[in-house]
Amino acid sequence: MAHTCPCCGFSALQEPPRSTSGGGSYEICPSCGFQFGVSDDDAGFTYASWRARWKARGLRWSSKGIAPPPGWDAKSQLTSLRDPSPKSAAKKKRSIRPSQRAPQV
Ligand SMILES: [Zn+2]
């Protein structure tokens, strides 16, 4: 079962980044180099701040031990990460409306 990195959109992580109890997997994303439970819990990076750092460093494949998949493209990978958000934001707006109309007592 593959999992997607919330930092860079790499979709072949071996473990879910966070267990259901909230602990990090300690897996290092071979694409962006984020280590779940370490880069965030110990080093204090958010997914967004790590992504910004990774972008600033040129979106390079991070792992030296694991080769990038054939045709790996950081930019299209990031696009796949961004895709779901506009749709879910639209859904949220719709679901908020009825409660906004309701009188607040
Ligand atoms: Zn990643």
The residue extents of the domains of the chain are 1-105
**How far away, in angstroms, is 93 Cα from ligand 1 center?**
29
Return the pLDDT at 69: 95
**How far away, in angstroms, is 102 Cα from ligand 1 center?**
42
**How far away, in angstroms, is 8 Cα from ligand 1 center?**
4
pLDDT tens for the 105 residues of the chain, in order: 799 999 999 999 999 999 999 999 999 999 999 999 999 999 999 999 999 999 999 999 999 999 999 999 999 999 988 655 555 445 555 555 555 566 666
Return the pLDDT at 99: 54
**How far away, in angstroms, is 74 Cα from ligand 1 center?**
10
**How far away, in angstroms, is 105 Cα from ligand 1 center?**
46
Query: DSSP character for 104?
Result: P
Q: Considering the entire predicted model, what is its pTM?
A: 0.76
Return the pLDDT at 104: 60
Q: What is the DSSP string of 19-84?
A: -TTS-B--PBPTTT--BTTTTTTTT---HHHHHHHHHHTTS----SSSPPPTT--HHHHHHHHHTH
